[in-house]
């Protein structure tokens, strides 16, 4: 514990914003490395164990200062959450949930291309589980529309998302933040429609009392 209650501002994943944090402990180190044809380089590390003053969540802040450029690199553990899980996350099948969790982790690491490939894999998984392996993505989308799970406009949107994922996998496409957020909106909407809303509708149907027959 620090001698004085030092307070810093840092992002809190639980609160979803920058909040005041209490510095619980600080550790400083100095490292160096010998680079061929350049010579030695040095950098200072500062590790701060932080506690959010609002929710009491714990995080570790690692600050590195490189010499002689004084370049500063800051890393927070756990990393900042860039996209929160939907409230129905734990209501979908384990296979889809596991893959979706890995996509969120890729987004937190700013690996947008990897996240886009994962989004494509999730879409393919949902299509196969819903309508079977119909061959091409276009055939699967056609079958999904005939199945009644999506409309014509949704099919067009899903096709765009699948094409973006294919470009990331085979053509080195690196999506922008807006691009990947748009694809994730599509993926989450499909998962909610196919799994969560279907379950809610079935539960509501069971809970709704049947209409009594009028006596003739």
Higher local confidence (pLDDT), 35 or 212: 35
Of 211, 198, 187, the C-alpha closest to 96 is 187
What is the arrangement of strands in the sheet containing 58-67, beginning at the earlier edge strand?
7-12, 17-35, 39-52, 58-67, 72-77
DSSP strand E in the chain: where?
Answer: 7-12, 17-35, 39-52, 58-67, 72-77
Give percent of the chain with pLDDT exceeding 90: 32
> Does the residue 216 lie in any domain?
no
Q: For residues 72 and 157, state if they share a domain.
A: no
Is the pLDDT at 162 greater than 90? The verdict is: no
What is the number of domains present in the chain?
2
Give the DSSP per-residue string, 42-62: EEEEEEEEEEETTT--EEEEE
Q: For residues 158 and 111, state if they share a domain.
A: yes
Domain boundary among 43, 77, 111: 77
CATH number, residue 152: 1.20.120
Q: For residues 95 and 201, state if they share a domain.
A: yes
Q: For residues 39 and 95, state if they share a domain.
A: no
Give helix then strand counts, H and E, for the chain. Answer: 6, 5
Length of the chain: 216
Domain that holds residue 64: 7-77
> Does the residue 213 lie in any domain?
no
Q: For residues 52 and 117, state if they share a domain.
A: no
C-alpha–C-alpha distance, residues 195 and 148, integer Å? 14
Q: For residues 69 and 97, state if they share a domain.
A: no
pTM: 0.67
Q: For residues 115 and 199, state if they share a domain.
A: yes
Q: pLDDT tens digits, residue range 11-67?
A: 998 998 899 999 999 999 999 888 887 788 899 999 999 999 999 999 999 999 998
Q: For residues 57 and 136, state if they share a domain.
A: no
């Amino acid at each position: 514990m620090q001698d004085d209650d030092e307070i810093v501002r840092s992002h809190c994943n639980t609160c979803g914003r920058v909040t005041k944090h209490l510095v619980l402990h600080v550790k400083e180190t100095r490292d160096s490395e010998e680079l061929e044809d350049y010579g030695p380089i040095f950098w200072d590390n500062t590790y701060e164990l932080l506690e959010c003053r609002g929710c009491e969540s714990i995080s570790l802040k690692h600050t590195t200062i490189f010499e002689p450029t004084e370049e500063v690199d800051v890393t927070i553990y756990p990393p900042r959450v860039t996209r929160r899980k939907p409230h129905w996350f734990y209501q979908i099948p384990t296979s889809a949930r596991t893959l979706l969790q890995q996509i969120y982790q890729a987004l937190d690491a700013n690996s947008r291309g990897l996240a886009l490939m994962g989004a494509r894999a999730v879409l393919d998984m949902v299509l196969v589980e819903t309508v079977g392996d119909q061959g091409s993505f276009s055939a699967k989308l056609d079958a999904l529309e005939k199945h009644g799970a999506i409309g014509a406009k949704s099919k067009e949107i899903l096709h765009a998302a699948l094409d973006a994922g294919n470009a990331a996998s085979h053509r080195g496409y690196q999506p922008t933040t807006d691009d990947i957020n748009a694809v994730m909106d599509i993926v989450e909407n499909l998962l909610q429609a196919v799994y969560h809303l279907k379950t809610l509708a079935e539960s509501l149907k069971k809970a709704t009392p049947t209409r009594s027959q009028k006596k003739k």
